[in-house]
Each structure stands twice: as structure tokens, then as C-alpha cells.
Amino acid sequence: MSTTAAPQVVTPPASGLGPAASPDLGPCPSPAAPNSRKLESGPSQQGAHRGAHHAAAHKPGLAASAAKSPMGELALRIEQRAGRSVAAHQYHRGALRILRPHYLDDSGQVCYVLVNPGGAYLGADLYVIDVEVGGGAKLLLTTQSATKIYRTPGSFAEQRMTLRLGEGAQLELAPDQLIAYREASYRQDTRITVRPSSSLIIAEVVTPGWSPDGSSFRYEELRLRTEIRVESGSGADSGLLALDNVLIRPSGHDVTGMAFMEGFSHLGSLIVVDPRVDQALADELHAVTEGHDAYAGVSLTSTLAGTTGLVLRSLSNSTEELNRLLSACAALLRKRWHGQDPLNLRKY
């Protein structure tokens, strides 16, 4: 393992979802009180995933594991052309697809829906997703339905996602909820590179799946790692903006009590990176959460190359309530920054 000094997102600001160290993904920081606050810079520790590193794949931007072939691969590059964002390159193989593009308003933002025809992630499955949003382009990426993790005997299911945003690029990632069922083990590694003028919004909800005895936490383990780096033109201010680790391991710890899930069963996360992020915005978003039946907190990263990150973590017993909370926060940002109305995807 290597140790790097960098700003680190406290995971989670609203709860303590596993302060134990993770040998593969680095240590999960200690929990912090749920409120709106400035995040201090501090040391972070990074490690490699269990198993072999990625090897170069035959398609640009994609990576394949030397240990196992991906069950599904998808690559998508969006560019701005004549006032609209369009796909300049797309590729898929195996159990990943995207539906035809559509436009929800006249902003030029293109919307793509990611589909897994297999319906679920199983043991030893590996999915690799590579998305690039070129300078000035706008992309909304969502999923057709929930991501379901079923029993994974023998080996964990894994998703590796790479996101790259150019100058002035706008990306909203709004997948349906992640559902972990009994005896499921899942790892999600998301690596993001932004430019100083990029705008990024990611909203995600994690829920426990049904189990025969009615217990909420029968899955083995969830590891969600998000690394965000900034690349500036000069390179002088480039570097790691945030490293966000979530580790929930019900099999090894009681995650239902104080300093963990606080009696709640569902976890919601909103990650925002934009040069307009500041403490006033963090306070405003925290105020938005107070109108919902959820327990929430907000943290800021340090500022790097003129851009700043924000992480909002929320706990509830309802997927719908967390979706409403995250949608309300995203709607505020969409309207203020881009003049767009709240999302209405109408997938069902």
C-alpha cells in the first residue's frame, strides 16, 4: 500500500458505516456528527483491489482483469456538436447495453439509459464501464432499473467505472437503487477525473434486499470506493480531490446501532464537484434535507485548482424517501447552475 497526503472525504458524515480498516480499499475514516461542515485535509491511504490489476483492453478506455473476463463492458464518449450533446463513440459487449438517446429539455443535455439484460450481478461477475464527457458536453446517465446483487458464493461481484469530464462538461449520474440480497458481496470502484470547470452530480441509494427471516442486513459486504481527481491545464494544481470509502460489513459488525446505521436500513449519497460549491451551498443543501424523514450530513473537500467537492450522506428506512431527498437537492443544483427543471425520467 502507498500512503498519499490528500483531502479525504469522511465516510460517512451522517453515520459510521464501518470505521474498520479495509486492506483492499484503504481505511474507512472515523464517523463524524451529522451536520454541515468544512472537511479538513488529512492523510489518505490507497490500495489495490484483491486480485490482478487491470490489463489494457482492446477498446479505448476499457480495462479487463487478468483474473476474470468482464461479464459486461460499455464505453461511451459524448461530444458537443451544433448545440447538442451526442455520442461520438459507443461500444458494448456482453451483459451491458444503452438504450437510444433522448433529450428531456432544450438544454442540449443528452440522456442515456444503461441496461443489464441479465437483470442482476452474481458471484465473480465483473462489469466495466467507461464514460467520457468532452468539453462543453452534457450527459445524464441513468439505469433502466435497480442494480440487484444476489448471492455471491466463492467470489464477490464487482463494478469498475471510469468517468472523465472535460472543461465545462456536465455529468449527472442518477442510477436506480443498489439492492444487496442475502449472502451478497459487492465491490464498486469509481474513478473520476474532472477539469476545474467541470460540473458533476452523482446520486445513489443503497438498500438491503428481502431475506426469508425479514432481517435487513443479511448481505455479506458492500464496498463502495470513489476516487475524484482534478486535472488542470498547467498540471501544477492537479491531484487527488477526494477519496470516499464506504464499507458496510454486517457479517463482521453490528451495523444497526449507534455510530453505524443508527437504526436505519437505507443509505443515500450525493456527490457534487463544481467550482461553485462552497460552505453556503453545503448549508443550503443540509437545510433541504430537514424537510425529509431522513438523517443527513454534509461534508466539503478542500479546494483544488478552483473546484471543490461536496458529499451529502443520508439515512432512512425508505428508498422513496431517500430518492425524494436526493432529487430535491439535485433539482436545486440543476435549476441554479444550468437553468433546468427537476428530473422526470418516467421509467415505469
pLDDT of residue 346: 67
Question: Could you tell me if residue 281 is inside a domain?
Answer: yes
pLDDT of residue 217: 81
pTM: 0.81
Q: Which three cell numbers stand for residue 120?
A: 442482476
Question: Could you tell me if residue 325 is inside a domain?
Answer: yes
Question: How confident is the model over 118-143, as a mean pLDDT?
Answer: 96
- Residue 15 class from Cβ within 10 Å (0-12 exposed, 13-18 middle, 19+ buried)? buried
pLDDT in tens, 236-287: 789 999 999 999 998 777 787 767 788 899 999 999 999 999 999 999 999 9
Give the pLDDT band of residue 41 (cuts 50, 70, 90): very low
Q: Which of the residue ranges 53-57, 69-73, 79-83, 219-223 would you say has the lowest mean pLDDT?
A: 53-57
Question: Could you tell me if residue 345 is inside a domain?
Answer: no
67 vs 120: CA distance, rounded Å: 21
pLDDT of residue 45: 31
In sequence order, the β-bridge partners of residue 192 are: 163, 228
Domain total for the chain? 1
Q: Which residue has the higher pLDDT, 54 or 213?
A: 213
Helix (H) or strand (E) holding 241: strand 239-248
pLDDT of residue 244: 95
Q: Which of the residue ranges 59-63, 73-77, 225-229, 329-333 would you say has the lowest mean pLDDT?
A: 59-63
pLDDT in tens, 98-116: 999 999 999 999 999 999 9
Question: Could you tell me if residue 93 is inside a domain?
Answer: yes
pLDDT of residue 286: 98
Cβ of 63: how many Cβ atoms within 10 Å?
A: 16
pLDDT > 80? residue 215: no
194 vs 98: CA distance, rounded Å: 23
pLDDT of residue 67: 54
Give the pLDDT band of residue 66 (cuts 50, 70, 90): very low
pLDDT of residue 248: 92
Give the pLDDT band of residue 154 (cuts 50, 70, 90): confident
* pLDDT, mean over the chain: 83
Question: Could you tell me if residue 346 is inside a domain?
Answer: no
176 vs 193: CA distance, rounded Å: 23
132 vs 112: CA distance, rounded Å: 13
Domain range enclosing 25:
2-50+71-338
pLDDT of residue 5: 32
193 vs 229: CA distance, rounded Å: 5
Question: How confident is the model over 155-181, as a mean pLDDT?
Answer: 97
Question: Could you tell me if residue 344 is inside a domain?
Answer: no
pLDDT of residue 57: 37
pLDDT of residue 218: 85
pLDDT of residue 320: 96
pLDDT of residue 236: 75
170 vs 199: CA distance, rounded Å: 5
Question: Could you tell me if residue 60 is inside a domain?
Answer: no
In sequence order, the β-bridge partners of residue 312 are: 270, 298
pLDDT in tens, 289-331: 999 999 999 999 999 999 999 999 999 999 999 999 999 999 9
* Residue in 52, 42, 45, 5 with CA at minimum distance from that of residue 23: 45
pLDDT > 90? residue 10: no
Cβ of 16: how many Cβ atoms within 10 Å?
A: 22
pLDDT of residue 312: 98
Question: Could you tell me if residue 62 is inside a domain?
Answer: no
pLDDT > 50? residue 2: no
pLDDT > 50? residue 50: no
